[in-house]
Structure 1
Amino acid sequence: EDPEHNDARKNGLWGAMMAGAWGTEWYFGYKHPHSDLSCQDFRSRDLFWDQGRFCLEFFKNNKVPVWEMEANDALISSDGDYVLADPGNTYVVYLKNGGESTLDLGQNGFTYELKWYNPRKGGELQQTKVKSVSGNGKQSLGLPPKEKKQDWVALLVKKN
């Protein structure tokens, strides 16, 4: 069992959104208690609805220009993580298992403000000691603010 729906959040919800999808659909199966066919109390799905809302709020509240971005997972050094990028302007990095990773910023030499988002609980963006990232090529994002082995979203926006 996965009561926090970690697999669905990491691979279904964020996997789809970071690939450029405009939404997802939850299928709860027919062989489980409270299946699609027998569910009478949708409170059993409460955490799914929250996680979907947190994902949408991240993109909306931070004015992430998804219509100008493309999936480019080759930019991140860690296997299985996701990058949605408008190179030279905005990068969204989804780290499935937290940890430290490097992001290839290309050869533009710009400086990017770095903030973190908790996809499990939503809320405001958070900062760490690494408040900005600059330079050419692969640059370290540092570690997420807390629960460093959980999934996190890093938002990098070019400074003016």
Structure 2
Amino acid sequence: MLQDKQYAQGKNYNDRFPESCPTESFDTPENKGQVLESNSEVLLKLVCNLLYSWTEPLFHLVNEMSALQGDTSAMLSKAREIRAKFGELRVGVKVILNKIGEKDNEIYVAWSGLPSLQSSNEDIRGFAFFNLIRCLVRDSHRINTYLEVLKYRMIHQNNC
């Protein structure tokens, strides 16, 4: 995953009140128990919606990161890789949803973080990068957890 340490060094970003994430409005399971109690189709749709909601933020993260000063090549490469993997996952999840007869009613959440990411104020821009990466890490963990539960259910024929 992207390292947010580069943006956090000496800035005390961890001490600041974080801005909301692009997927903040989603009703997601709060803990493992709720994830395990969730219907498989609901989890699949949630994964699909999480992935779709990151399309625009990841696009802008990559674009704005390429405009940063300094050597950001490693982080830019990682951001591009993550964007591509999210795209592949979106396609795969849509295929599964279609095969089980579920519509992939994507919920597109309007992302309001672009002005901060493009700010001429270095501190605002740095915190926007930090926050976006923090949110990306959080949602990536959620997606991974949901997919692991779904994989386990498929392998064990829902006897879990």
Looking at secondary structure, tell me which structure has more helix per residue: 2
Higher relative contact order, chain-length normalized (CA < 8 Å, sep 6+): 2
Task: Please give the TM-score of this superposition, normalised by the length of structure 1.
Answer: 0.30
Looking at secondary structure, tell me which structure has more strand per residue: 1
Task: Please give the TM-score of this superposition, normalised by the length of structure 2.
Answer: 0.30
